[in-house]
Amino acid sequence: MTWLHTWAGLVVGWILFAVFLTGTLAYFQFEITQWMLPDVKQHATPEKAVAQAQDYLEKQAPDSPGWSITLPDERSPITTIFWRDPNASNGRGFEFAVLDGDGKKIEQRETRGGNFLYRFHFDLHYMPVFIARWLVGICAMLMLIAIVTGVVIHKKIFKDFFTFQAGKGPRSWLDGHTITSVFALPFHFMITYTGLVTLMLMYMSSAVSLSYGDRGEFFNDLQSQPPKLQASGESANLADLQALYFKAREDIKGNPIRLAQISHPGDTNATVTFYEAPTQSLMSDYTTLTYSAVTGEQLHVQPVKNSAELTRRTMIGLHAGRFADTQLRWLYFFSGIMGTLMIATGLVLWFEKRKKKLQASGNLSFGHYLVSGLNAGFIMGLPLAVATYFLSNRLLPISADNRAELEIAWFFFGWLLMVCYPLLRGAKKTWRDGALLNGLAYLSLPFISFITVDRHLLNYQYPRDWPLFGMDTSFILTAAAFLGLTWYLFRKWNSKETQNDVER
């Protein structure tokens, strides 16, 4: 069990560290997006958003075969609309726009915001999606093995939680690993298992393929799909979609709606489908409601009734925390940070337990140096990557081409910088220099906002700007933590060098 725990954790530990950290940040993905869109000052509301989106789309995309409206809520106060351009010469012709509370298109800085961090934690961005999700799934399976075996091998796991010993080398790393493991142990089990359930239909697709020739039939058995009407070719004016939105809200007892999709707008067979948002509670009916977009007649209403599918979706909701209020979301966040530190301390512990013995015998191999360098580069590099991602949002020209991709390129540049840093300075100095770079980077973020944007700590308007204030405060606290670590490492290594000089 000890061998299995060690190697299951080490082999995929660096990927797991990246998945855990970006996944943890994704619990505040909408707040991150708000901070990265400081130009949005008029917040949209769902009570007006559908009418505003309909008015915009009827003017800009009257010939499109389909519209999609993502509605605003308290955490994401913008209306995002998508449509397909039938005259596009290449690609699928998808277009989008973001509307503010006045229904006007926001000429915003192009950014992926918090959604990039959310998608990265299971898509890894530059990797093909199929391969990335399988890789993350295999890592999650090994993570689950590491958690179970960790509980088995630590016989005094709860007793050791209260006996942390600082400055004791490998023993201190073991205590830190134990504390961060036990502190949020139920969360670690839950988040790993439900993460696998989230993509179970991909990992266990053969079960569907053997039972159904057409995957569409499988999903129709889980939840009856709305009717798909073909365009008649006869034009007709759309009904008031905002009124249909209110009717749909009544039909699902006032529960929120997150998405509206309109098929064949301007045709007599036009339909609008509303999708219930599972944000009010952990358990939801996930109801879809379809109406004629011309007459307003209800054509289809279908909650999820299959118990297995309800269980799967409930686990996905538990993993994503979409139902969580602010306090519970912070609990998710701190539990995720504990998981991130658990992985980091486990990686460092592997090297520290072997270092002294192997150094004494002169058997410290290239593999051990590689692990040491990767530990320093990845653990210091990923927080720096996040900081450079945020910095790029403030420093890149607003009109830059492919601006969103440039921000992401900055993210990977910051990460790559620290991963390569041990080659120049060694792993030991990478820890110290990386902590200093992280501290300075996060501390600079609120101050750079003073110079580059109109909304910053000195002129926020409350309650509208509480999310932005929370982001800036988090940057300052993160900077304080990294600068404190820098001071500790300088002090520790300087005292060791002084002690070595005295012994000589």
Cα 41 from Cα 347, distance rounded (Å): 44
Strand partners, 302: 288
Q: For the segment 105-120, what is each residue's pLDDT rounded down to a tens digit?
A: 887 788 999 999 999 9
Report the alpha-carbon distance of residue 61 to residue 268 in Å, rounded: 17
pLDDT value at residue 502: 46
Residue 179 has pLDDT above 90, yes or no: no
Minimum mean pLDDT range among 219-233, 246-260, 293-307, 357-371? 357-371
Q: How confident is the model at residue 381 (pLDDT cuts 50, 70, 90)?
A: very high
| List of E strands, 156-256 | none
- Using a 10 angstrom Cβ sphere, with 0-12 exposed, 13-18 middle and 19 or more buried, the burial of residue 334 is middle
**Does residue 356 surpass a pLDDT of 80?**
no
Our CA angle for 259, 260, 266, nearest 5°, is 160
Which residue would you say has higher pLDDT here, 352 or 165? Answer: 352
CB neighbour list of residue 59: distance below 8 Å, 6 or more residues apart: none
Identify which of 202, 206, 181 has the alpha carbon closest to the alpha carbon of residue 192.
Answer: 181
What is the Cα–Cα distance from 126 to 455, expressed in whole angstroms? 32
Average pLDDT (400-426) is 94
pLDDT of residue 220: 81
Evaluate if residue 395 carries a pLDDT over 70. Answer: yes
- State which H helix or E strand residue 237 sits in: none
Mean pLDDT on 439-468 = 92
**pLDDT for residue 385:** 97
Residues 6+ apart with CB under 8 A from 327: none
- Is the Cα torsion angle 241, 242, 244, 248 positive or negative in sign? positive
Closest CA to 251 of 302, 293, 294: 302
Element holding 227 (H helix, E strand): none
- Can you tell me the distance from the alpha carbon of 81 to that of 140, in angstroms, rounded to the nearest whole number? 34
Beta-sheet strand order (sheet of 288-292): 94-99, 79-84, 66-70, 257-263, 271-276, 288-292, 298-302
Decide: 59 and 491 in contact? Cβ < 8 Å: no
Across 383-393, average pLDDT? 97
Domain definitions of the chain by residue range: 1-39+110-223+325-362, 42-107+224-305, 366-504
The per-residue pLDDT for range 460-485, each reduced to its tens digit, is 989 889 999 999 999 999 999 999 99
What is the Cα–Cα distance from 43 to 154, expressed in whole angstroms? 51
Task: Please report which confidence band the pLDDT of residue 164 belongs to, taking 50, 70 and 90 as the band edges.
Answer: low
Q: Residue 249 pLDDT > 60, yes or no?
A: yes
| Burial class (CB within 10 angstroms; exposed 0-12, middle 13-18, buried 19+) of 481 | middle
Do residues 290 and 272 touch, judged by C-beta distance below 8 A? yes
What residues contact residue 116 under an 8 Å CB cut-off, 6+ apart?
125, 389, 404, 407, 408, 411
What's the whole-number average pLDDT of the chain? 89
Whether the pLDDT of residue 429 is over 50: the answer is yes
| pLDDT value at residue 86 | 81
pLDDT tier at 362 (50, 70, 90 boundaries)? low
Confidence category of residue 172, pLDDT binned at 50, 70, 90: confident
3-state helix, strand, coil in the chain (%, to 5): 60, 10, 30
* SS3 state at 218: helix
pLDDT reported for residue 439: 97
DSSP designation for 28? G
Distance in angstroms (rounded) separating the CA atoms of residues 290 and 299: 5
For residue 500, pLDDT over 60 is answered with no
Average pLDDT for 418-429: 92
For residue 63, is pLDDT > 80?
yes
Q: For residue 265, what are the CA distances in angstroms to 185, 234, 249, 427?
A: 50, 11, 21, 60
**pLDDT top residue among 353 and 328:** 328
pLDDT at site 142: 96
For the ranges 204-213, 242-251, 351-360, the one whose mean pLDDT is highest: 242-251
> What pLDDT shows up at residue 161?
61
DSSP 90: S
How much is the average pLDDT of 381-385? Answer: 97
Work out the pLDDT band at 337, boundaries 50, 70, 90: very high
Tell me the pLDDT tens digit for each residue of 265-319.
Answer: 999 999 999 999 988 888 888 899 999 999 999 999 988 888 889 999 999 999 9
pLDDT at 407 over 80: yes
Preceding amide of 463 cis, omega within 30: yes
